[in-house]
Structures are given as C-alpha cells and as structure tokens.
Amino acid sequence: MTIKRSSFGVFNSISALILAFFLYSGTAYAAHPDVSDSEDAIQAGQSLFNANCRTCHRLDQNYTGPALRGVTERRSLDWTKKFIVNSQALIQAGDAEAVALFREYNNIQMPSHDFLSDDDLMNLLSYIEYGDTADATAAADGEGTAEGQAGGIPSEYLTIILVVLVFVLLLILVVLGLIVSVLKKYLNQSQDLDQDDKEFINQKTDLKKVFTSDAFIIIITTIVLALVVKTALDGLYNVGIQQGYAPKQPIAYSHQLHAGEYEIPCQYCHTGVEIGKSANIPSANICMNCHMHIQNVDGQEGISPEIAKLYDAYDNNKPIEWVRIHNLPDLAYFNHSQHVAVAGLECQTCHGPIEEMEVVYQHSSLTMGWCIDCHRNTEITTQGNEYYDKLVQLHSESKDALKVKDIGGLECAKCHY
Ligand code: HEC
Ligand code: HEC
Ligand code: HEC
Ligand code: HEC
Ligand code: HEC
Ligand code: HEC
C-alpha cells in the first residue's frame, strides 16, 4: 500500500499559513494599559486635542508633527507626558529619544503645554489611542478623498476578521492533526506496509521544513511586497508637498525676535499682503531703517557677523538671496489681499505661529484639498462690505451661513489660470 504524499503537503502549507498570520498580527500595536478607552475620556481628550494639537498633529498621518496613534507603545507613558508638557525641557536635558525626534522634524519646536493637568493628559492620550478612525480624521482634513476612503472597512472590523480567520485556521490545524494521528495509528496496525512507507508515516512535522516550504515563502513574499507597495503609494501622495520645509537662510534673521519679541507688524516688512497678490519679502533697505543704528544685540561688542552680511548686501547693492519656502505651482492662483484685506484672515491661520519661529517653516500643506476645505467651511465676512449686500439678500432663504463655496470658491477657474 502506498500513501499519497500530497496530503502531507496540505498539512504543511496550513501550518505555514498560520505561522505567517501570527508573524503578521504581531505587528499590530497595543496602547499602554493605563490609557482608558472609555467614551468620556476619549471625548474630553478630543476637545483638548482640537484646541491645542490639531494645528500640527493628526492621529494616523504625519503632519507638522508625527502621527500620534501608538505613541504610548513606542514611548514610555512618563516620557510621553513629559514631552507633551514641555518638550524643549527634555530636549535641552539631552534626552536621546527627544533630541533624535526634534532633529528628524527639522528642529521644529512643539509649544509647551504646562497648563494641562495629569487628567487632561490621560484624556488626551485616550483620544490619541482610541479616538477617530483613520477615515474620520482624514475627512476632517478635507484631503481624505484619496487616502481616507480607500480603506473601506474600518480598522476595528479588520482586526476582528483577522482574529476570526486565525481562529478558524487553528481549528482546521487541530482537526487535521487529529485525523493524521488517527490515520497513523490505524496504518501502524496494518501489516502490509513496507519499510519505506512506515518511515514516511512516522516522520515528525518538522518546523524547519515548514519555514522552507514553498507555501511559506510565497506567503511571506506577498506580505512584504504588499507593505512595500503601500509605503511607495503613501510616498507618492506626498510628492511635491513641502509641509515643514525650513531651509537655512543666508542671514540668520529671526521672526521670533523681530515679530515676536519686538512686535514689529508683519505688514512693515511684507508690504504686499493688504494690497496685492504677493506678500513680498523686504529688501535690505527696510532692514536698514533700523540696522543703520543697531549693529549688534545687547551686550555684544562690535558688529554682529549676521548684521555684517546685511551691511555687505546693502553697501554693494547685492540682493540677499533668501530661500523661498512657500511656493505654489504656476498653475494655481492665490491672492493675499483677497484673504487678508477682504476675508480678514490672520496670517497665522495659514502660516502658523510665525512670531515664535526662529527659522520659518511651512506650516500648512498648501494642497488643493487644503484650500477647498477652508472654502467649504469658512463663512464670508459680509458686514460693512456693500459688495455683498445683494448676495446676502438672495442667500437669506437658505438655512446655512454664506460660505466661500457659495460665491464660487470651488470653481476651477477661480484658482487655475
Ligand atoms: C506647533 C506645532 C505642534 C503643536 C501645536 C503640537 N505639537 Fe506635538 N509635536 C510637534 C513636532 C514638530 C513634533 C516632533 C518633535 C519636535 O520637533 O520637537 C511633535 C512631537 C510630539 C510627540 C512625540 C511623538 C512621538 O512620535 O514620539 C507627542 C506625543 C506630541 N507631539 C503630542 C502633542 C500633543 C498632545 C499636543 C497638544 C496638546 C501637541 N503635540 C501639540 C509639533 C506640535
Ligand atoms: C523685520 C521684517 C519682517 C517682519 C516684521 C516679518 N517678516 Fe516675515 N519674513 C521676513 C524675511 C526677511 C523673510 C525671508 C527670510 C525667512 O524666511 O526667514 C520672511 C519670510 C516670511 C515667510 C516665508 C516666506 C517664504 O519664503 O515662503 C512668511 C510666511 C512670513 N515671513 C510671515 C510673516 C508674518 C506672519 C509676520 C508677522 C507675524 C512676519 N512675517 C513679520 C521679514 C519679516
Ligand atoms: C523695526 C526695526 C528693525 C527692522 C526693520 C529689522 N530689525 Fe533686525 N533687529 C532689530 C532689533 C531691535 C534687534 C535686536 C537687538 C538686540 O537684541 O539688542 C535686531 C536683531 C537682528 C539680528 C540679530 C543679530 C545677532 O547677532 O543675533 C539680525 C540678524 C537681524 N536683526 C537682521 C535683520 C534683517 C535681515 C532685517 C530685514 C529683513 C531686519 N533685521 C529688520 C530691529 C529691526
Ligand atoms: C489663506 C491663507 C493665507 C493667509 C491668511 C496668509 N497667507 Fe501668506 N501665503 C499663503 C500661500 C498659499 C502662499 C504661497 C503663495 C504662492 O506661492 O504663490 C503664501 C506666501 C507668503 C509669503 C511668501 C512670498 C509670497 O508672497 O509668495 C509671505 C512672505 C507670506 N505669505 C506672508 C503672509 C503674511 C504676512 C500674512 C498675513 C498678513 C499672510 N501671508 C497671510 C497663504 C496665506
Ligand atoms: C483659512 C481659510 C482659507 C484658505 C486656507 C484658503 N482660502 Fe481662499 N478664501 C477664503 C475666504 C474666506 C475667501 C472669501 C473672501 C471674500 O470675501 O471674497 C476666499 C476667497 C478666495 C478666492 C476668491 C473666490 C471668489 O469667488 O471670489 C480665491 C480665488 C481663493 N480664495 C483662492 C485660494 C487658494 C488658491 C487657496 C489655497 C492655496 C486658498 N484660497 C486657501 C479662505 C481661505
Ligand atoms: C480654492 C482653489 C482651487 C480650486 C477651486 C481648484 N483648485 Fe485645483 N489646485 C489648487 C492648488 C493650490 C493646486 C496645487 C496643489 C499642490 O501643489 O499640491 C491645485 C492643483 C490641481 C491639479 C494638480 C496639478 C498637479 O500639478 O498635480 C489639478 C489637475 C487641479 N488642481 C484641477 C482642478 C479642477 C479640475 C478644479 C475644479 C473642479 C480645481 N482644480 C479647483 C487650487 C484649486
């Protein structure tokens, strides 16, 4: 009697599949056990997050700062709290993790949040770990069309499906194991087996074979390939987006000092914002209004080397070669006066806390989704603007407030030449 060897092949492939599943599900993260997943905590955390963190963070997406979900797994709870309360203190104390992160994010300073109580911090972490699923956050960004809705199945369901699948496979494995042992017993009792077949029946399922089996290798290769493709796609979505870009400038000019400490109005230097399309970068002449007299910072002797560069440019009539940070492609039209003078928006809405920046960085993504998102949600300031009187009358029957989208803010031709 001869036994079909392929049935053992099936057994081996199923073991391989289960092993692969365990390896894969091992990559899912687990939040710190002290972080509560109660609805109340998540909700309290959400309002804190929206008020203090959303300008720079998303849960599942790198933004100005890193994606936050899973932070209590990759860092200790204590470290995470300290970092949120005062990241600069950790960085200045030389904490290796904090310093590495700070470097990775172009030395962007996260503001301190020392007003947050320990309860606040725990609620924030509840929201960060258990709040909105990827879809909700991406939709709130208005940029989710491509990424957020592609997933279809919410991630909790995916996890459940995975667990059930693993369970079913385990069950099959156990049943198969039983069948095999019953068969073995039965065959060992039968007399008419030659030596070869006996050996074959009594061989052990050895793990080494499982790992080197074709099935296992194919499954692992597929998973690795899928991960590589996903990473590449995520990368492609970000091509051309320069959020966080903070190049080194030819003169170490500081907004934190001039616009923050000395409160020089933005318009003093960026003369175009109220009147034209472009905000303008000031020429050396404007700097010299003050620096004719100011040659160094208090307590310094002689001319500061940074200001010497300014004098050199001014005396020799050389333009200072500032590196441009914000730069829309030529196909898009953006006008500052429309947004600053007419709409009355603050510079900080789009540019972030410039007055705290030692080195300017690009705060917003500047994608089309970003423009559209604001146009969908922002009401127009119509008071004191006669131009809008007729429109307001026409619109008064609608229940919704008059938004930018209602005056054509979503029309292609308004933003594209
Ligand atoms: C002005 C932008 C900004 C704001 C506002 C901000 N962060 Fe950050 N955050 C960052 C940046 C940038 C980093 C990366 C580290 C660095 O550059 O210091 C970071 C890092 C972190 C980290 C470490 C993440 C990791 O992977 O280890 C945590 C946690 C964090 N932020 C939480 C918060 C919370 C909570 C709030 C609101 C209370 C908040 N941040 C507000 C910019 C910000
Ligand atoms: C004393 C002059 C001065 C004042 C005041 C000033 N800026 Fe600037 N700003 C500059 C110079 C010079 C640059 C180019 C060098 C740099 O990027 O730091 C610049 C660059 C910028 C950029 C980046 C431009 C780019 O390349 O995309 C933004 C945005 C900006 N300023 C916004 C502001 C805002 C908002 C304020 C007010 C809170 C302000 N500035 C106040 C001189 C000034
Ligand atoms: C309205 C006045 C004013 C204008 C305009 C102005 N500055 Fe300043 N600047 C100051 C003051 C005040 C200080 C700080 C002096 C101190 O701390 O004692 C300073 C300090 C500096 C420093 C720091 C020097 C050092 O060694 O740290 C640099 C660099 C500088 N300015 C560059 C510029 C440039 C470039 C421009 C034009 C884009 C400019 N400033 C425009 C008032 C001005
Ligand atoms: C509605 C969003 C928004 C607001 C509000 C806004 N900006 Fe901008 N800013 C932009 C965009 C978008 C660009 C890039 C423009 C481009 O590349 O054509 C930009 C570019 C700039 C630049 C680079 C030079 C230029 O004109 O391209 C400076 C400087 C600047 N802004 C300063 C300011 C100042 C100062 C204020 C407030 C008085 C302000 N911005 C308000 C969106 C905004
Ligand atoms: C923070 C909110 C905000 C952002 C971001 C924003 N806008 Fe606007 N935009 C407005 C508001 C408010 C108005 C209405 C101004 C008015 O009353 O005419 C407006 C008006 C406009 C208009 C005139 C529309 C019309 O029908 O007259 C154009 C064009 C425009 N924006 C282009 C852009 C572009 C391009 C971007 C992105 C680079 C952008 N906006 C980003 C708030 C925003
Ligand atoms: C509120 C302003 C605004 C409106 C309205 C708008 N766009 Fe855009 N669009 C932009 C901006 C800004 C960019 C550049 C984004 C970037 O560089 O990432 C862009 C980029 C694009 C691009 C990509 C070009 C490239 O280089 O990849 C296409 C295509 C496009 N828009 C088509 C449209 C069409 C079609 C419509 C009408 C349904 C439209 N846009 C309406 C602001 C707008």
Are 221 and 295 members of one domain? no
Give the integer Cα–Cα distance in Å for 405 and 412. 12
User: Is the C-alpha dihedral spanning 82, 86, 89, 92 positive or negative?
Assistant: positive
| Residue 151 pLDDT greater than 50, yes or no | no
Q: Residue 365: inside a domain, yes or no?
A: yes
Distance 357 CA to ligand 2 centre (A): 10
Across the chain, mean pLDDT equals 82
Comparing 224 with 241, which gets the higher pLDDT? 224
Count Cβ atoms below 10 Å from residue 239 Cβ, excluding itself. 6
Please name the residue that has the structure tokens 């290798």.
217
Domain-ending residue, one of 152, 174, 208? 152
Are 285 and 353 members of one domain? yes
Read off the amino acid at residue 192: D
Task: Give the pLDDT score at 202.
Answer: 74
| Residue 283 pLDDT greater than 80, yes or no | yes
Are 194 and 315 members of one domain? no
Are 102 and 119 members of one domain? yes
| Among the listed residues 361, 357, 359, the one whose alpha carbon sits nearest the alpha carbon of residue 261 | 357
3-class secondary-structure state, position 210: helix
Atom of ligand 3 nearest to the CA of 284: 37
How does pLDDT run across 20-79, given as a tens digit for each residue?
554 444 444 578 888 988 999 999 999 999 888 887 788 988 877 899 999 998 899 999
Query: At 58, which CATH number?
Result: 1.10.760.10
Give the integer Cα–Cα distance in Å for 216 and 18. 9
Structure tokens at 268: 């003093």
The domain tally of the chain equals 3
Ligand 2 pocket test, candidate residues 257, 262, 269, 274, most atoms within 8 A of CB: 269
Read off the amino acid at residue 379: E
With a 6 A CB cut-off, is 347 part of the ligand 2 pocket?
yes
Find the mean pLDDT for residues 330-338. Answer: 93
Find the mean pLDDT for residues 407-414. Answer: 88
Are 387 and 286 members of one domain? yes
Task: Give the pLDDT score at 135.
Answer: 44
Find the mean pLDDT for residues 350-361. Answer: 93
Are 281 and 376 members of one domain? yes
Structure tokens at 290: 């003050």
Find the mean pLDDT for residues 355-360. Answer: 92
Are 190 and 291 members of one domain? no
Write down the pTM of the prediction. 0.62
Structural domain of 10? 6-25+156-237
Give the integer Cα–Cα distance in Å for 64 and 103. 13
- Sorted by sequence, the CB contacts under 8 Å of residue 91 that are 6+ apart come out as 98, 99, 102
| Closest ligand to the CA of 404 | 5
